[in-house]
Structure 1
Amino acid sequence: RQRVICLTLFCILHDSTNTIGPKEGWQVYSSAQDADGRCICTVVAPEQNLCSRDAKGRQLRQLLEKVQNMSQSIEVLNLRTQRDFQYVMKMENQMKGLRTKFRQVEDDRKTIMAKNFQELKEKMDELQPLIPVLEQYKTDAQLISSFKEEIRNLSMVLTAIQEEMGAYDYDELYQRVLRLDSRLRNCMGKLTCGKLMKITGPVTIKTSGTRFGAWMTDPQASQRNNRVWYMDSYTNSKIVREYKTMEDFVANVVSRTYNLPFKWEGTGHVVYNGSLYYNKYQSNIIVKYSFETGRVLAQRALEYAGFHNTYPYSWGGYSDIDVMADELGMWVVYMDPDTLEVQKTWNTEYSKRNAGESFMICGTLYITNSHLTGAKVYYSYSTKTSSYEYTDIPFHNQYFHMSMLDYNARERALYAWNNGHQVLFNVTLFHVIKTEDDS
């Protein structure tokens, strides 16, 4: 068999006798002449055995063998590459799965740590307002400076922890905060009355009952006595529920139920020194009811006091008469808690119908301008000086409708019934601290 090799040969033609003959093994298929007179021929090479000793032929065969060997090697390499590629793909998928799991574990850890540190941060925020109080302590400036430095250091540590999670031992930090909290609370026992400066919160304790109601603890009770009383609705009821602790209140574990002898009006009730004081239904009478004996200990009609929506707060609800308690005693106006005898009356000249709610702190009456969203403490009246002033102390009416707001002197907090939610507000007071040097 002959192989066709396309070559371009240049030859000089003198005459026909010089043509290469067939006996030499080359066959001319066509010829032509270029512009310079040179011959251009197309030839067919002779059979294989005619060129077996040709050096270029041997080189060509060697090259072909090398190409074949290379092709086989490439094929083997390709198979190995395909196998390795499948293995790498499998390992890549496994690595991605592990990476996802590690990321999830890391995110969960950071979430838990962030939550713990946020709780500490909130604790620090609660302690921070007490610093201006301590600065009034004339005889212990060095201790105050120490407190301030300790809080500053803890705040810096908290900030650093938020940036680098886990850089500080959480338990040690938590114990430091608890120790500082204990020391500050011991100092609070020396505080006298103060002026309301700020209201923060609220903290939602529970969601229960109707839109209107009242709940409270006893400001005169010992620190071990943490009973909670609950009175749902503003009228047509005589049922009071008692809970042993705040935890029981949240879990709705009722320890005792009282059936009052008279229905109540409004939500302006107060528990004071073991007794409930409330406005008797459709009257201007204040009733003192003992939880211990289950009997009415005293009743007193308040002369000229409106009732049954004659002079209520802006939200209505028969809230004409509001019984309160603070550091100085119990108030509707100011009265003796044993006999309910009225000792003195003040006319604040503030319209009851324009007030959202009110509460007493240290003998000063604080009045909100609304029971709805945007409410703030707008007006205060001092019973000590018989004078008033306009204030601007906002607070967050989270659930849009306030039907009860009372101050508890023991807890230094405001108890509120906020549209079927029982909430607590923290208060910041400007105090004057009495020392042994004070007369």
Structure 2
Amino acid sequence: MYICLLTLVLIHAAAAFVAQNATGILAGKDHCVCEVLLPDSSFPAKRVGALEDETIRLSNRVEDEMQKLEEQDIILDTYSEKIINLTRRVEYLEKLHPESLVEISFEVLKREIRELEMYISAMRVKPNGNSVQVETLYNEVKNMSKTVGQLETLDKNNVLQAKREIVNLKKRLVDCEKNLKAKPSLMVPLGSCQHQGLAHISKPNLMQLNWKGNAYKSGAWGKDAAWNTTKKSLYWVAPLNTDGRVLESIRIYPSMSDLQMYKNPIDLPLSMLIKNKLNNTFAGQGAGVVVHNNNLYYNCFNSHDMCRASLTSGVYQKKPLLNALFNNRFSYAGTMFQDMDFSSDEKGLWVIFTTEKSAGKIVVGKVNVATFTVDNIWITTQNKSDASNAFMICGVLYVTRSLGPKMEEVFYMFDTKTGKEGHLSIMMEKMAEKVHSLSYNSNDRKLYMFSEGYLLHYDIALKP
């Protein structure tokens, strides 16, 4: 027996080559015969073909996915550039007007307003739901809906102000509902003085920055404060110059939406340019300003005179306020040149001032608008320079003082009807330390504050 080497080439599924040795016998001089047993099954050609097809399909899929990844890389690079550019733009906007950045979309605003309308409509049909407070809130929600519609057609950065108003309305709706649930409504009718005086002051409601900008810290604003005036929708804003002293003009807006969007303004000049020289004969001094029956009342510049300017005719008048101190002799604490402070309430027009005789104590004078004179005066025991501001409600003087950067207190009162005075403690939150002006409006029972250039207002409650 001889050993012959036989090499068999087998094709397997993995396409490998396999070599084997086999024992054979010599047949003839040049023939070697070997006997080899092959497997019974035939070669799996079909499986190999299917494997090749699957391999090609997988290869194509890998190529497709690789191409998609390349496309996604391109898209990601594009969006990365957009994000970088957007970030730069937002940073630029933050540097310019951080208060103007949009925090919400108009769709969200509209949805929230619809929810408010449904909510307050439900409150109107509840027992005690037809109170003046509920009706006022209902009208404000309707006005806000119109305002948002108008804002949407303009610069969308202004939507932030609308959002603030909605947040304020929501808070007031919650407070209103709590009051309705707590006890039957005992609201004092607007214009009535049949009550026991001031009971509560709400949280501050921020309207917006004054139209001249945040460099103009001092001033006043509000609505026509004469009881039952025909100009109830009119708003006015009177920022003083940056020196905190001179009032050169005021701006009038026909409605709240006009005020919020700074549109349709009417400017009333108080300083006159005569022969290329500024004349301050009818300019104002200090922020003790009020609008009463479509007339602006204020302290004439550099004098103890009272000034009056008609908002419609532009006619100016001045009358001396006898013995009144001026030019920052006795202003309120924290604000300059408010020696003379006009105030309006249910009983008419008042002026708050000091005299040499009163030695810095607050004097309250009742203004006769027909003759433009002060007919009656009352001298209090409260030092004006210790107070931060004051206002009148139903002939009662209420005086405030600062308790810190975020809190004010109504601490003193004087009733001109009885001549009695007293102390009380009604807290009043504020958004900045200085109160540059504070005035009451009997038509909507609100306090209007000008503080560090911003316009704020408060709701008040009276004791039945």
Q: What is the percentage of aligned positions where both structures have the same residue?
A: 19
Matched residue, 1:319: 338
Is the alpha carbon distance of 1:315 and 1:274 closer, same or farther for their aligned partners in structure 2, counting shifts above 3 Å?
Answer: same
Q: 2:6 & 2:404 partners in 1: Cα distance? A: 108
Is the alpha carbon distance of 1:331 and 1:121 closer, same or farther for their aligned partners in structure 2, counting shifts above 3 Å?
Answer: farther
User: How far apart are 1:235 and its partner, in Å?
Assistant: 3.1
Matched residue, 1:417: 450
CA contact (8 A) 1:282 1:307 kept: yes
Q: 1:120 & 1:377 partners in 2: Cα distance? A: 37
User: How far apart are 1:111 and its partner, in Å?
Assistant: 5.6
Matched residue, 1:2: 6
CA contact (8 A) 2:295 2:311 kept: yes
What per-residue deviation string (whole Å, max 9, x for no partner) do you get for residues 240-277 of structure 1? 44444444444254435344643322110112112222
Q: 2:223 & 2:446 partners in 1: Cα distance? A: 11
| Counterpart residue identity of residue 80, structure 1 | R
Is the alpha carbon distance of 1:228 and 1:69 closer, same or farther for their aligned partners in structure 2, counting shifts above 3 Å?
Answer: same
Matched residue, 1:406: 439
Matched residue, 1:360: 392
Matched residue, 1:166: none
CA contact (8 A) 2:448 2:458 kept: no
Q: 2:379 & 2:115 partners in 1: Cα distance? A: 43
Q: 1:390 & 1:353 partners in 2: Cα distance? A: 19
What per-residue deviation string (whole Å, max 9, x for no partner) do you get for residues 75-95 of structure 1? 222222333566688899999
Q: 1:259 & 1:364 partners in 2: Cα distance? A: 31
Q: 1:312 & 1:390 partners in 2: Cα distance? A: 22
Residues 1:395 and 2:429 aligned together: yes
Is the alpha carbon distance of 1:352 and 1:117 closer, same or farther for their aligned partners in structure 2, counting shifts above 3 Å?
Answer: farther
Residues 1:226 and 2:234 aligned together: yes
Matched residue, 2:34: 50
Q: 1:343 pairs with 376, 382, 388, which one? A: 376
Q: 2:190 & 2:71 partners in 1: Cα distance? A: 65
Alignment of structure 1 residues 230-245 onto 2, 5 Å: 230=238, 232-233=240-241, 234-245=244-255
Q: 2:300 pairs with 260, 272, 280, which one? A: 280
Is the alpha carbon distance of 1:269 and 1:114 closer, same or farther for their aligned partners in structure 2, counting shifts above 3 Å?
Answer: same
Residues 1:381 and 2:429 aligned together: no
- SS for the counterpart of 1:71 is helix
CA contact (8 A) 1:268 1:322 kept: yes
What per-residue deviation string (whole Å, max 9, x for no partner) do you get for residues 212-254 of structure 1? 2223331233156525353533434543444444444442544
- SS for the counterpart of 2:54 is helix
Q: 2:382 & 2:110 partners in 1: Cα distance? A: 46
Residues 1:143 and 2:119 aligned together: no
User: How far apart are 1:192 and its partner, in Å?
Assistant: 2.9
User: How far apart are 1:288 and its partner, in Å?
Assistant: 3.3
Q: 1:146 & 1:314 partners in 2: Cα distance? A: 42
- SS for the counterpart of 2:109 is helix
What per-residue deviation string (whole Å, max 9, x for no partner) do you get for residues 125-168 of structure 1? 9x79xx9xx9xxxxxx9831798xx99xx9xxxxxxxxxxxxxx
User: How far apart are 1:197 and its partner, in Å?
Assistant: 0.6
Q: 1:371 & 1:214 partners in 2: Cα distance? A: 22
Residues 1:198 and 2:198 aligned together: no
Q: 2:436 & 2:403 partners in 1: Cα distance? A: 7
Residues 1:83 and 2:60 aligned together: yes
Q: 1:6 & 1:380 partners in 2: Cα distance? A: 120
Q: 1:146 & 1:319 partners in 2: Cα distance? A: 40
Q: 1:190 & 1:215 partners in 2: Cα distance? A: 21
Q: 1:69 & 1:22 partners in 2: Cα distance? A: 34
Q: 1:267 & 1:73 partners in 2: Cα distance? A: 93
Residues 1:334 and 2:314 aligned together: no
> Unaligned 5+ residue runs, structure 2?
8-18, 76-103, 139-172, 181-186, 272-280, 352-363
Residues 1:71 and 2:48 aligned together: yes
Matched residue, 1:211: 217
| Counterpart residue identity of residue 48, structure 2 | S
Alignment of structure 1 residues 238-317 onto 2, 5 Å: 238-249=248-259, 250-251=261-262, 253-259=264-270, 261-297=281-317, 299-303=319-323, 305-317=324-336
Aligned length: 332
| Counterpart residue identity of residue 370, structure 2 | D
- SS for the counterpart of 2:38 is helix
Is the alpha carbon distance of 1:112 and 1:214 closer, same or farther for their aligned partners in structure 2, counting shifts above 3 Å?
Answer: closer
Matched residue, 1:428: 460
- SS for the counterpart of 1:58 is coil
| Counterpart residue identity of residue 334, structure 1 | G
User: How far apart are 1:431 and its partner, in Å?
Assistant: 5.0
Moved more, 387-396 or 231-240: 231-240
Is the alpha carbon distance of 1:23 and 1:89 closer, same or farther for their aligned partners in structure 2, counting shifts above 3 Å?
Answer: closer
CA contact (8 A) 1:401 1:418 kept: yes
User: How far apart are 1:429 and its partner, in Å?
Assistant: 0.8
- SS for the counterpart of 2:382 is coil
Is the alpha carbon distance of 1:372 and 1:322 closer, same or farther for their aligned partners in structure 2, counting shifts above 3 Å?
Answer: farther
What per-residue deviation string (whole Å, max 9, x for no partner) do you get for residues 153-211 of structure 1? x9xxxxxxxxxxxxxxxxxxxxxx9xx99xx9xx9866734524123233233433322
| TM-score, normalization by structure 2 | 0.58
CA contact (8 A) 1:243 1:256 kept: no
CA contact (8 A) 1:378 1:393 kept: yes
Q: 2:377 & 2:34 partners in 1: Cα distance? A: 142
Is the alpha carbon distance of 1:59 and 1:331 closer, same or farther for their aligned partners in structure 2, counting shifts above 3 Å?
Answer: same
User: How far apart are 1:357 and its partner, in Å?
Assistant: 2.0
CA contact (8 A) 1:309 1:316 kept: no
Q: 1:312 & 1:418 partners in 2: Cα distance? A: 16
Matched residue, 1:115: 109
Is the alpha carbon distance of 1:245 and 1:232 closer, same or farther for their aligned partners in structure 2, counting shifts above 3 Å?
Answer: farther
Across the aligned residues of Structure 1 and Structure 2, the Cα RMSD in angstroms comes to 4.6
